[in-house]
Structure 1
Amino acid sequence: MAQISRRRILGAAGIGLVGLGAIAARPGRHGAPHDAYFSGVAKALQQAGIATPTLVIDRKRLHANVQQIVQNIGGRMQLRVVAKSLPSIALIKDVLAQAKTDRLMVFSLPQLLQLSPAYRNILLGKPMPVAAAAAFYREQPAPVAGQTLQWLIDSPERLAQYRDLARQQQRDLAVNFEIDVGLHRGGIDSAETLQEMLAILKSEPRLRWSGLMGYDAHVTKIPNIAGATQRAMDHARQAYAAYAQQVQTALGEAAKTATYNAAGSPTYRLYDGSGVENELSVGSAMVKGTDFDTPLLDDLLPATFIATPVLKTPPKFRIPYGVEWIGNAAQVWDRNLERAYFIYGGNWLADPVSPPGLAASGLYGTSSNQMVLVGSGLQELKVDDVVFFRPRQSEAVLQQFGDIAVFEDGKITEFWKPMQATA
């Protein structure tokens, strides 16, 4: 009997230890109300009478980011502003003025048609079907005085198409060659292909070679296994230098003053001006969505948010009828699922940022109409309060909410119209 009792005691003790372990592993209750910054933005929105999902840009943070980027480049290279990542003419104008540059990179025909009358120095950021180039010249047949418009060309076949367009329209075209520096998303990937394109170029006086463009987004995205990041960057620089040398040998002095465009927001800090590359493309980093929260961009601040009202705050988060027991069990385990906040809209390419401790409900699912966010209740949200999201990226997202609200000095000071949504 004594032995049985000891077994029972030991078993009960074991169960107790497991229970204590489970309690220790239980998620802690977390969350808080808005901090002073987001409380100020929320107050400004409410004073402006804004009660629908709205894209907000903090102008002071935007200016600080642009100035920091210019300081980081340090005059060693030129800065080209990426229009697709800042899709508002007023926003682009503001950024160009802060950066003291007139260089734009454009990625779509509609944006090119909107921007080309006002801006002189434009490089296409992706190869466009020759039909798109023909459509551009139908819409804007007269050349803009002093404009340099560089069409991006990625293959001999596309170059031949643009040659035929130049002949048909009796129009001189500037062509910039896209080179593959390791991303493997297309572009010239061998000396033989480049040589073939140079032969086409030399045979057509209406084509003028204007430079190279090499995009290296893969460098900071690949797993850094055994120094893979540095090897990828070294390869990108070496490949760029080799293609530039080949062109300079073939074209002589004219090639030395060309546009040698490189990088993007994730990688611009990796260039110090020591190579042939003479300009860097940056756009997304200036407003800094969450996809750009990287060590290389730690000196920049988030400058854009989605603000949306809270529509409903039921006293307890309840899963729909029939499976309520699942929600009850989840709430017993995780006290951060106790409260639900139904917001105006939702399901954006964005993540809740304030008040802290909110999250989408994996049990309830998403909605573009009245998305539910769950929390512990420490957020102290009420109906008509504002929840803030950070977009993961700026392109496309900035075009989903109508006019962009500009926040500055504690107020909504103006509204910027976004450009037409386009791929």
Structure 2
Amino acid sequence: MSGLSRGRRRLLAALGAGAAAVWLARPSARGAPHDAYFRQLQAALRQAGIAAPTLVLDRERLRANIRRVTGHLAGKMALRVVVKSLPCPALLAEAAALAGTRRQMLFSLPQLEAMTKGERDILLGKPLPAAAALAFYRQFSDADFRPERQLQWLADTPERLAQYRELARGQNLHMRLNFEIDVGLHRGGIADIATLRRMLDMVVEEPRLRWAGLMGYDAHVAKIPDLPGLRSQALRHARETYAAFAAAVRAHPAGQAAEPCFNAAGSPTYRLYPGDGPENEVAVGSAMVKPSDFDLPALDDLLPACFIATPVLKALPRFELPYGVERLGELAGGWDANARRGYFIYGGNWQADPASPSGLASSGLYGHSSNQQLLVGSGMQVLAVDDTVFFRPRQSEAVLQQFGDIAVYEGGRIVDSWPVLPATG
């Protein structure tokens, strides 16, 4: 009997020690009020009378980022600005002026209709259906823009090239074609030299078509698991594949363009191209405003330049779940000090994460809302009704178009309002 009692005592002691260890391991309170940067940004929004969800662009940071991007390239490769990542005419103009480039990459028919004007040099970043190309030509009327020399349609297969050929014949058009090649992403594009030559033959046989270059996108290089040697191997494969396609096209009669466009890379990978291969331009957009998906070692010297700002509508003394499950909310707050206060904001459920004040998070228990999202925190944020919460977008494409005009922040004030392009796929 005594032995059993000792066993029970040991078990109880072990359980007590385990419970104490679990309790001590519970999350500690974290968070802080806005730092000086976000306090000033909040004050600027209040001074401007902005009290709804708004996309704010820090113009000084934007300019610094563009200068750094062009400094990275150091004239070794040309820069093509990606319109879907900076979907705002004034923002695109700012980037083009500071970077000294006329080159743009577009991804949709509405973008094409909006941007084909003046002296721009345009490359499609994805192959559009021939019906979309026909719609463009039917409405196009800008006499200052010459599609036959300023626009490159993207062809990814012999079948799509044949569709463009029939369009050119039927509408009596002259079309420039850039060929998408697969350098390892496997999202489509020409996968072998034999197909490339077949498509080049089709161009030679049709006087209305002209080959203009190659486009090889390598987003996988930055996104595959960071295992030893895996990313460097993927980059080497991408560049060797590109070089093989470039050599094959240069050896073909159709590939004798005086200045072919050999487009490569994107914001995550543009710094991996030193200009010593056939690639002669890179496409960059998101890096200039640096949403959080671009927090990468190669972009460490760039600063976040865009934020979503939204007011606090309700600041609750404690986080409460709805009637019937209130007890669960109390337990959550007792366990995690960072779930003790609740804040309902204007809007929410964006592709973005709370950035300031620090220590805020969405409630997994309460769920998401696009009307009044609940954020929880420790209370160390010292938030009150009408204070501003800042989110950092995960990406710039699409997100920058969700809030109407962009509020431009410079010198401690909101100095301008920039309309955005219509949201498109």
Give the TM-score normalised by the residue count of structure 1: 0.97
Provide the residue aligned with 2:129 in structure 1. 129
Q: Could you tell me which residue of structure 1 aligns to residue 54 of structure 2?
A: 54
Describe the superposition over 1:51-70 as per-residue Cα deviations: whole angstroms up to 9, x where unpaired. Answer: 00000000000001110000
**Shift of the alpha carbon at 1:117?**
1.6
Deviates most, 251-260 or 333-342: 251-260
SS at match of 1:352: strand
Q: Distance in 2 between matches of 1:373 and 1:252?
A: 59
Choose which of 240, 249, 252 in structure 2 pairs with 1:250.
252
The corresponding residue for 1:208 is 210
- Code of the residue aligned with 2:53 in structure 1: it is P
Q: What is residue 17 of structure 1 aligned with on the other side?
A: 17
Return the match for 2:307 from 294, 301, 305: 305
* Separation of aligned partners in 2, 1:251 and 1:407: 52
| Contact kept in structure 2, 1:150 and 1:210, CA below 8 Å | yes
Counterpart residue identity of residue 81, structure 1: V
Match of 2:44, SS?
helix
Alignment CA distance shift 1:380-1:142 (3 Å): closer
The one-letter code of the counterpart of 1:20 is A
Q: Closer, same or farther in 2 for the Cα pair 1:332/1:145, shift >3 Å? A: closer
Inter-partner Cα distance in structure 2 for 1:371 and 1:136: 40
Which one of 407, 410, 419 corresponds to residue 421 of structure 2?
A: 419
User: Does the residue aligned with 1:257 lie in a helix, a strand or coil?
Assistant: coil
Asked if 1:389 is matched to 2:388, the reply is no
Percent identical = 59
Does the aligned pair in 1 maintain the 2:130–2:163 contact within 8 Å? yes
On the 8 A contact 2:67/2:99 being kept in 1, the answer is yes
Q: Distance in 2 between the 1:256 and 1:182 partners?
A: 28
Give the structure 2 partner of residue 264 of structure 1.
266
Q: Which piece of structure 1 moves more, 335-344 or 247-256?
A: 247-256
Q: Which residue of 2 aligns with 1:32?
A: 32
TM-score normalised by the chain length of structure 2: 0.96
Displacement of 1:256: 5.5
Letter in 2 for 1:140: F
CA distance, structure 2, for counterparts of residue 234 and residue 36 of structure 1: 44
Alignment of 1:228 with 2:230, yes or no, is yes
Residues 172-183 of structure 1 correspond to what in structure 2 (within 5 A)? 172-183=174-185
Partner of 2:115: 115
Q: 2:349 is matched with which residue: 347, 359, 362? A: 347
2:45 matched to which residue of 1? Answer: 45
Q: By how many angstroms is 1:91 displaced?
A: 0.6
Alignment of 1:123-202 (within 5 A): 123-141=123-141, 144-145=144-145, 148-202=150-204
Q: CA deviation at 1:336?
A: 0.6
Could you tell me which residue of structure 1 aligns to residue 278 of structure 2? 276
Separation (CA, whole Å) in 2 of partners of 1:253 and 1:213: 14
Give, as a single letter, the amino acid of the residue that structure 1 aligns with 2:56. V
Pick which of 135-144 and 148-157 moved more.
135-144
Establish whether residue 238 from structure 1 lines up as the match of residue 240 from structure 2: yes
| Residue pair 1:248, 1:256 contacting (<8 A) in 2 also | no
Seen in structure 2, the aligned counterparts of structure 1 residues 148 and 321 have a Cα distance that, compared at 3 Å, is same
- Say whether the 8 Å CA contact 1:176–1:213 is kept in structure 2: yes
- Give the counterpart letter for 2:94 in structure 1: D
Q: Which residue of 2 aligns with 1:66?
A: 66
Q: Is the 8 A contact 2:200 2:255 kept in 1?
A: no
Looking at structure 1, the residues matched to 107 and 284 of structure 2 have their Cα atoms a distance apart, in angstroms, of 13
The aligned amino acid for 2:388 is V
Measure the CA separation in 1 of the matches of 2:255 and 2:395.
40
Asked if the contact 1:247–1:255 (Cα under 8 Å) also holds between the matched residues in 2, the reply is no
Q: CA deviation at 1:402?
A: 0.6
Aligned partners of 2:255, 2:329: CA distance in 1, in Å?
71
> Compared with structure 1, are the counterparts of its residues 230 and 335 closer, same or farther at alpha carbon in structure 2 (3 Å cutoff)?
same
d(CA) in 2 for partners of 1:311 and 1:401? 18
Deviation at 1:228, TM superposition (A): 1.5
The RMSD of aligned alpha carbons is 1.6
Quote how far apart the aligned CAs of 1:141 are: 4.5
Aligned partner of residue 332 in structure 2, secondary structure: helix
Give per-residue Cα distances to partners, 1:55-102, cap 9 Å, x unaligned.
Answer: 000000000111000000111000000000000001100111111111
CA apart distance, 1:172 = 1.2
Structure 2: give runs of 5+ residues left out of the alignment.
Answer: none
Could you tell me which amino acid in structure 1 is paired with residue 365 of structure 2?
L
SS of 1:322's equivalent in the other structure is coil
Which amino acid is the alignment partner of residue 98 of structure 2?
Answer: Q
TM-aligned CA deviation for residue 11 of structure 1: 4.3
Tell me the distance in 2 between the aligned counterparts of 1:142 and 1:265.
31
Deviations 1:380-417 (A, max 9, x none): 00000000000100000000001100000000000000
Query: Which segment is superposed worse, 13-22 or 55-64?
Result: 13-22
- Secondary structure of the structure 1 residue equivalent to 2:308: strand
Matches for 1:87-102 after TM superposition, within 5 Å: 87-102=87-102
Distance 1:118 1:389 in 2: 36
In the TM superposition, what is the alpha-carbon distance from 1:142 to its structure 2 partner? 5.7
Q: 1:186 to 1:8 in 2, by over 3 A?
A: closer
Equivalenced residue count is 423
The answer to whether the 8 Å contact 2:119/2:145 transfers is no
CA distance in 2 between partners of 1:163 and 1:201 (Å): 8
Contact map agreement 1:59 1:408 (CA 8 A) in 2: yes
Q: Give 1:7 shift.
A: 5.0
The separation in 2 between residues aligned to 1:394 and 1:213, in whole angstroms, is 22
In the alignment, the residues of structure 2 paired with residue 3 and residue 168 of structure 1 have an alpha-carbon distance, to the nearest angstrom, of 97
SS at match of 2:330: helix
